[in-house]
Amino acid sequence: MKRQIQIFDTTLRDGEQSPGFSMNVKEKLRLALQLEKLGVDIIEAGFPISSEGDFRAVKEISAAIEKTTIAGLCRARNADIDRAWDALRYAKKPRIHTFIATSDIHMEHKLRKNRSEVLSDAVNAVSHAKQYCNDIEFSAEDATRSDPEFLFEIFEAVISAGATVINVPDTVGYGLPWEFGKLIADIRARVPNIGKAVISAHCHNDLGFGVANSIMAVQNGAGQVECTINGIGERAGNAALEEIVMAMRVRHQEFECDTRVKQEELYPTSQMLTRITGVGVQPNKAIVGDNAFAHEAGIHQDGMLKNPLTYEIMTPQSVGVPENKLVLGKHSGRNALNERLKHLGFDFSRDELNKVYEGFIRIADEKKVVLDEDLVSLSTNGVTEVGNRFVQQDMQRYLNKY
209 with 308, same domain: the answer is no
239 found inside a domain: yes
CA distance 372 to 278: 27
Of the candidates 277, 306, 332, which is a domain's last residue? 277
Q: What angle do CA 208, 209, 213 make, to 5 degrees?
A: 165
pTM score: 0.82
Half-sphere exposure of 382 (CA within 13 A, CB side): 18
pLDDT tens digits, 255-266:
999 999 999 999
Is 93 exposed, middle or buried, given 0-12, 13-18 or 19+ CB atoms closer than 10 A?
Answer: middle
The C-alpha R_g of the chain, in whole angstroms, comes to: 26
205 found inside a domain: yes
pLDDT for residue 393:
39
pLDDT tens digits, 261-314:
999 999 999 999 999 999 999 989 999 887 777 655 565 655 656 776 676 777
283 found inside a domain: no
285 found inside a domain: no
370 with 248, same domain: the answer is no
158 with 306, same domain: the answer is no
Beta partners for residue 42, in sequence order = 8, 69
**Count: domains in the chain:** 2
146 with 112, same domain: the answer is yes
88 with 45, same domain: the answer is yes
268 with 345, same domain: the answer is no
Q: Which residues in the chain land under pLDDT 70?
A: 294-305, 308-309, 311, 322-330, 340, 343-345, 367-368, 371-373, 376, 380-402
Of the candidates 248, 277, 306, which is a domain's last residue? 277
271 with 313, same domain: the answer is no
155: nearest Cα among 134, 137, 180: 137
257 with 338, same domain: the answer is no
219 with 325, same domain: the answer is no
pLDDT tens digits, 8-20:
999 999 999 888 8
Of the candidates 277, 304, 323, which is a domain's last residue? 277
372 with 251, same domain: the answer is no
Half-sphere exposure of 155 (CA within 13 A, CB side): 33
Half-sphere exposure of 40 (CA within 13 A, CB side): 32
CA distance 379 to 53: 57
369 found inside a domain: yes
pLDDT for residue 394:
42
Is 398 within 8 Å of 344 (Cβ atoms)?
yes
Q: What is the domain range of residue 308?
A: 294-401
273 with 306, same domain: the answer is no
57 with 187, same domain: the answer is yes
CA dihedral 295, 297, 298, 299 (to 10 degrees): -90
72 found inside a domain: yes
* CATH number (domain holding residue 264): 3.20.20.70
264 found inside a domain: yes
pLDDT for residue 166:
98
Is the four-CA dihedral 57, 63, 67, 69 of positive or negative sign?
positive
Is the four-CA dihedral 152, 154, 160, 165 of positive or negative sign?
negative
397 found inside a domain: yes
